[in-house]
Structure formats: structure tokens, C-alpha cells
Amino acid sequence: MGMTIGEKIIAKAAGVKSVKPGDIHTVTLDRMMSNDGTTHLTIDMYYNQLKNPRIADKDKIVFIMDHNVPAENPKTAEAHKKMRNFAREQGIKLYEGQGVCHQIMMEDYVCPGELIFGADSHTCAYGALGAFGTGVGCTDLLYGIVTGQSWVLVPETIRFNLTGKLPKGVYPRDLILTIIGDIGANGANYKIMEFAGEGAHNLSINDRIVLCNLCVEAGAKTGIVEPDDKVIEYVKSRGRNVEHMFISDDDAVYEKVYNYDLSKIQPVVARPDFVDDVIPLKDLGRVKIDQAFLGSCNNGRIDELRVAANLLKGKKVKEDVRFLVAPASNEVYLQALEEGIMDTLMEAGAQIMNANCSVCWGSCQGVIGENEVLVSTGTRNFKGRAGHPSSKVYLASAETVTRAAITGYIESQEEM
Amino acid sequence: MEKFTGKVWILGDDIDTDIIIPTEYLALPTVEDMKPYGFSPLRPELAGQIEEGDIIVAGKNFGCGSSREQAPEIIKALKVRCVIAKSYARIFFRNSINNGLLLIENDQIQDVVKEGDMLTVTLGESIEHEGNHYPIHSLPDNLMDIINAGGLVKAMQKRNGIIE
């Protein structure tokens, strides 16, 4: 029986020839990532609950501060201090204020064929480079850093065959929200979402990250785009080698197969308070907003910043609307500066934030008040996610968000 | 088989981790400090009403969202005996086992039970409600060992295992 990409990666990590869904395997992790959301909890357990603890392999661990950066209150500052000290003591690589963890991982670490655990649910993004990234809690992370290993239950794989190209003004963000709307918030629970076909290969690495990153919002253990020459080119351009690159066998077994013609995808919006409450933008009606946010591990890269700058050139952000922009990393930020994107955004009245999780995390920046409405390129629109429990979050593409910042309304172009 | 009875609190589908514990309270120093805010976006009064041994009954996809481990920790700190839901999001499921929170899967009880009703659970066998029995599966033994020990770290300590 053939295997899917995800099954092959697990087999490699388990040191066995083949695996099948339902098997439980002990695996050696290629890499582990932890951010300031929970690293302090892992460190507390490390020191207080283990006898003679040790780190299995410090070079496989990356700590990234991105959730509450810079610290917004003394409690966070203490948690950061703990993380910094531990990293220094153990010789673990630490990034502070350099960008959102998943973007840093893409830029500096992820290689095809790797099995990576991250103490953050959107770790599933790493499939954009043909890796198996999955989110875990701080206890699983602790077990991983101390033993170098973990266990996995081999998930079933759902295949998404993509054909065609997205129309102008339609983005991978619209595609993945459409898919989540179709299959539901638990439509891929504990499954691998595998994207393949010429439609997938047409997508840039930037676009593939958008796709894989949101798979957890359909409950998936991970999302993987079938890797190709674009992945090799990207990884090599970042100074890394490609050692293992897996594609699915022709006789691989899928739990389900879906076909999506990208040319049929249209702009969509996920309504509050569920990521799978997705409707076409044209059917939404005009929704007045208080704040717009462009950024996050899903949608804060150079492609999205360019979309915003092109739309905002010579225009102004609507009075009474706050438009907050957080680049996904400092590297993205520098590139945007070089291209004059930041000039355009600031001249239009946008507020530029440092590279961090920002509004998407609903804690340290741009929190919204009672009954306020936010349109966002962030990852989630759960009740109270961005601030007060009565506030509302709509998820949409960079184009829809920027247009809303200009007019003050989420609306389709026909309405404008 | 272990058997226990508890009073029911009803929650719906897709109860996400931001509902279980909103981001703004994650900076509080301990789970005990966070506990009063459990489920607050949805039902601010609930955390104060839950009593030791109570049972949460919910719909599909319980615990969807973030990997924050404070979510199962808070439910455990509220002394909820177990959660019964139609299905669980995978990260939450794993985190619950690692923190010793018992999760039971059943998709029938939601149709018959009302808030405040009493349920009797016999692990690996059934849920009893007003004389009717609804079958449940048991988790694999190795996962039950972790739950019974009070979580993964405690199980490792108990086993005198890899981390010594």
C-alpha cells in the first residue's frame, strides 16, 4: 500500500519502512519551537516537576518571543525574563521581537520532510515547505525537549486536488476560508490536509503558507502542499539543504478527496464568531467597522503588504477607522521599507506595529472594546478573541481588509 | 469499573479555547488565578457555579483553537469530573490527557440531558441518565494510566521513566 506525504514523514521520524492510519509510533522530532505564549510554563515544569532534567538536543529547539512583544505588563516581563534566562543557560537559540514564530521558522529553519512540533496551533503552516508541522501543548513540548521524542497517532489524509488559477482580486486566504466553510471547523479533525495538483503548484511559497497555516481551523493535525522545485529553490535561497522531499505514492490511500477549481473561488468573509461561518463577500451586505488589521502568521507577508499599498496609494484611511498593520517579520518589514510600502501605508494614515502577533492574539496590541467591529487578516474570529466579549471579528483577505479601512465598511466591489 | 455521578452543565458546539480561557487572563500567574474567568465570554457566572464533581456536556469540536494548555488545566482546576462531548479538537484532546482531565466521547446524551440533571458514568461502559444507558468506549490503557496519574509529567514521575 502506498503512503501519503505525511505518512512518509512519520515513517522516517519513527525509523520504520511504512506506517498506516491508526498506528501509534514513537518518533524522533527534527525540530521543536516554543513561543512566549507558554514557554514559561514548560520551564516551570522542567525545574519544578522533573528530577535531574536535561535537554536532549539544544540545537533542535528554537524559542521565539512574538505573542506579547515588547512586554506590556510586569507579569509578561517576568515570563519573558524566565524564557531569556533559560535559553541562555541551555544554549537554546532565542529570537526576540524579530517576527511571528511561524514566519521566523519558515525563513530560518523548516526543511521538507521534517517532523516539527511547535507549542502553537498554527505550526501546521510548515507544510508549505513539505514538512509536517503540528501544534502541541506545553507538556508535550516539555517531553519533546527532554527526550527528543514523542508519540503520534498516524492520521488519515484528506486530499485536495487544486486546478486552475485564482481570479484577480481573489487570494489563497479566500481559498482556505472557502474550504474551511465547506468542510467545517472540525471537517478535518485529526487529519492531514494535503494539497496537490497544478493549482497547488501554481501557488507561490507565500501563498502556500497562507493555505497550510489555517488548516488547524478545520481541526487538521497539519496541512501539506506537495513540495516541488519552488520549495527547493526557496529552501536553498535561505542557505539550507534539501535532504528529504516526499510526495505521495500513486496508490496512497485517502480518507476523502476534494476537487477545487481555483478559477471559481470568489472573495469570502468568515463571520463572527466561527471561522467556518463563511459566506461570499457579495452576500454579506455592508458591515461598518471600527478597526482593520493586516498582519499575523497567516497574512502579514510581503505579498499582502503589497496588496494593501497598491490599494492605498494616494488614498486615506477612513476617519474614525483605525488601520493597524503588523509585518510578519522584521525581514518582511525591511523589504516593505525598501519597496516604499511603509511610506504609502503611513501617508494614508495606517499605524505600523512591530513584527509580532499583534491584534490577532487579542492581548498586547489593538484590543477592541465593547460592541466594536474588527475586520482582520488574523487567524481566528472566536467570541472575544480580539478584546471585549461583545466585540465582533470578521476574517477576510488583505484586499477586503484594506478596502474596508478606506471606506469604513466591509463590502464587495460591486457595492463600492 | 470506576463509577461516578455528577451534575450537568450544558455547553454547545465548537466551544473554543478563547471561551474556555480568554487571552487577556493568560498573563495571570497561576491557573487558580485564571479559574474565575473560565468560560467567561460565553457564561461569566459559570466558573463560580461549577462544583466539585460536576460534568460538562457539550457538542462537537470541544476545545477547538489554540494550543494553550491552560484550557484543560482550568477545567480541571474547577474540579469538573469529566467532559462529555460529541467530539474534541485534537490539540485539546492531547493536552487534556497530558493534564489528567478525563474526556468522554458520546453523541446521544446531548439530546436527552438538561442542565442540572444528574448523570452516572461507568468508565468504559455507559452513561446513565434517568434509567437509560448510553454506551461509551474506554480510552486505551496507556492514556488512562496518564489520566489516572494526574497527567503526563506525573505519570513519568510515577513510572520512574525516561526523565529521571
Same domain, A298 and A368: yes
CATH of the domain at A65: 3.30.499.10
The three cell numbers locating residue A232:
527547493
- In this structure, the answer to whether residues A171 and A311 fall within a common structural domain is no
Query: A48 to chain B, minimum CA–CA distance in Å?
Result: 11
> Quick check: A305 and A327 in contact, CB under 8 A?
yes
By residue range, what is the domain housing residue B78?
3-138
Q: Within the 135-174 window of chain A, which residues sit less than 8 Å (CB to CB) from chain B? A: 135-140, 142-143, 146-147
**A256 and A384 share one domain:** no
* Domain edge (last residue) among A244, A262, A280: A262
The predicted pLDDT at position B27 comes to 82
- Taking the alpha carbons of A110, A112, A114, A115 in that order, is the dihedral positive or negative? positive
Partner residues linked to A224 by β-bridges: A194
Assigned domain for B160 exists? no
Largest CA distance in chain A: 65
Start-to-end CA distance of chain B, whole Å, equals: 32
Q: B28: which chain A residues are within 8 Å (Cβ-Cβ)?
A: 75
Give the cell for residue A201.
Answer: 503548484
Of A116, A115, A119, the closest CA to residue A137 belongs to: A119
User: Chain-centre distance of CA B71, in angstroms?
Assistant: 9
Residue-wise pLDDT for A149-177, tens only, equals 998 999 999 999 999 999 999 999 999 99
A23: three-class secondary structure by DSSP: coil
Contact (Cβ atoms closer than 8 angstroms) between residue B53 and residue B118 = no
User: Does any domain span residue A322?
Assistant: yes
* Interchain proximity A362–B91, CB inside 8 Å: no
Cell of A22: 491508526
Whether residue A305 sits in one domain with residue A257: no
Q: Is residue A416 part of a domain?
A: no
Q: Which residues are CB-contacts of A273 (< 8 A; sequence separation ≥ 6)?
A: A381, A382, A383, A385, A392, A393
- List chain B pLDDT tens, one digit each, 164 residues: 799 999 999 999 999 999 999 998 988 888 999 999 999 999 999 999 999 999 999 999 999 999 999 999 999 999 999 999 999 999 999 999 999 999 999 999 999 999 999 999 999 999 999 999 999 988 888 788 889 888 988 887 776 544 43
B154 in any annotated domain: no
Contacts of B90 in chain A (CB under 8 A): 189-190, 219, 221
Domain match, A19 and A77 both:
yes
For residue A137, which residues of chain B lie inside 8 Å, CB to CB? Answer: 67-69, 91, 94-95, 98-99
In this structure, what are the phi and psi dihedrals at residue A174, rounded to the nearest 5 degrees?
A: -65, -40
Give the number of A-B residue pairs with CB atoms closer than 8 Å.
124
Nearest-CA neighbor of A300 among A348, A375, A355?
A355
| Domain-embedded: residue A204 | yes
- Please report the pLDDT score of residue A12 as a whole number: 98
B157 lies in some domain: no
Spatial distance between the Cα atoms of A194 and A206, rounded to a whole number of angstroms:
17
Helices B90-98, B141-149: crossing angle, 10 deg rounding: 60
Q: Please name the helix (run of DSSP H) or strand (run of DSSP E) that holds residue A140, with its range, or none.
A: helix A138-147
Chain B residues closer than 8 Å to A50 by CB: 153, 156-157, 163
Among residues B109, B113, B77, the alpha carbon closest in space to that of B96 is found at B77
Partners of residue B122 on adjacent β-strands: B3, B126
Of A240, A262, A284, the last residue of a domain is A262
Tell whether A284 and A198 lie within a shared domain. no
Question: Considering A262, A279, A307, which residue would you say is the last residue of a domain?
Answer: A262
C-alpha cell at A185: 471547523
d(CA B136, CA B8): 17
Q: How many domains does chain B have?
A: 1
Residues of B with Cβ-Cβ distance to A142 under 8 angstroms: 153
Cell of A388: 471585549
Indicate whether B55 belongs to any domain. Answer: yes
Q: How many domains is chain A built from?
A: 2
Which domain covers residue A173, as residue numbers?
A: 5-262
Count of other CB atoms within 10 angstroms of residue B7: 16
By the CB < 8 Å criterion, does A314 face chain B? Answer: no
Q: Domain for residue A287, yes or no?
A: yes
For residue A23, how far is the Cα from the chain centroid? 28
| A71, A176: one domain | yes
Report the alpha-carbon distance of residue A35 to residue A100 in Å, rounded: 9
Per-residue confidence (pLDDT) for residue A182, from 0 to 100: 98
Residue B43 is part of a domain; what is its CATH number? 3.20.19.10
Strands A322-326 and A351-352: parallel
Of A75, A186, A362, the CB nearest to B87: A186
ipTM surpassing 0.95 = no
A286 & A254 share domain: no
Give the minimum alpha-carbon distance from B23 to chain A in angstroms, rounded to a whole number: 6
A325 and A201 in a common domain: no
A185 with B14: Cβ contact below 8 A: yes
Rounding to the nearest 10 degrees, give the CA dihedral for residues A36, A37, A40, A44: -160
> Does B147 fall in a domain?
no
Residues of chain A neighbouring B14 (CB-CB closer than 8 A): 185-186, 274
Which residue out of B64, B70, B86, B97 would a mutagenesis test of the A interface target, given it has the greatest number of A Cβ atoms within 10 Å? B64
DSSP A390: T
CB contact under 8 A, B67 and A136: yes
Tell me if B94 and A385 make a contact (CB, 8 A cut-off).
no
- The pLDDT of residue B160: 52
List chain A pLDDT tens, one digit each, 416 residues. Answer: 899 999 999 999 999 999 999 988 899 999 999 999 999 999 999 999 888 889 999 999 999 999 999 999 999 999 999 999 999 999 999 999 999 999 999 999 999 999 999 999 999 999 999 999 999 999 999 999 999 999 899 999 999 999 999 999 999 999 999 999 999 999 999 999 999 999 999 999 999 999 999 999 999 999 999 999 999 999 999 999 999 999 999 999 999 999 999 999 999 999 999 999 999 999 999 999 999 999 999 999 999 999 999 999 999 999 999 999 999 999 999 999 999 999 999 999 999 999 999 999 988 899 999 999 999 999 999 999 999 999 999 999 999 999 999 999 999 987 65
Contacts of residue B159, defined as CB under 8 A and 6 or more positions apart, other chains included, come to none
> Does the residue A279 lie in any domain?
yes
Q: Is B76 on the interface with A (CB under 8 A)?
A: no
Same domain, A188 and A279: no
B144 falls within a domain: no
Among candidates B61, B94, B162 on the partner chain, residue whose Cβ is nearest the Cβ of A136: B94
What was the pLDDT predicted at A416?
58
Q: Please, what's the b/e burial string for A169-205 (b: 16 or more CB within 10 A of its CB; e: otherwise)?
A: ebbbbbbbbbbbbebbbbbbbbbbbbbbbebbbebeb
The CA distance from A113 to A12, in Å, is: 8
* Statement to judge: residues A209 and A348 lie in one domain: no
In whole angstroms, how far apart are CA B63 and each of A39, A105, A151?
A: 20, 26, 21
Q: What is the tally of helices (H) and strands (E) in chain B?
A: 8, 7
A28–B contact, CB cutoff 8 A: no
- Closest-CA residue of B relative to A274 is B14
Q: Are residues A38 and A130 in the same domain?
A: yes
B164 occurs within a structural domain: no
Taking the C-alpha atoms of residue A393 and residue A270, their distance in angstroms, rounded to an integer, is 9
- Smallest Cβ–Cβ distance between A384 and the set B18, B29, B156 belongs to B18
Secondary structure of residue B135 in the 3-state scheme: strand
**CB within 8 A of B88, min separation 6: which ones?**
B61, B62, B63, B96, B103, B105
Q: Residue A415 domain-assigned?
A: no
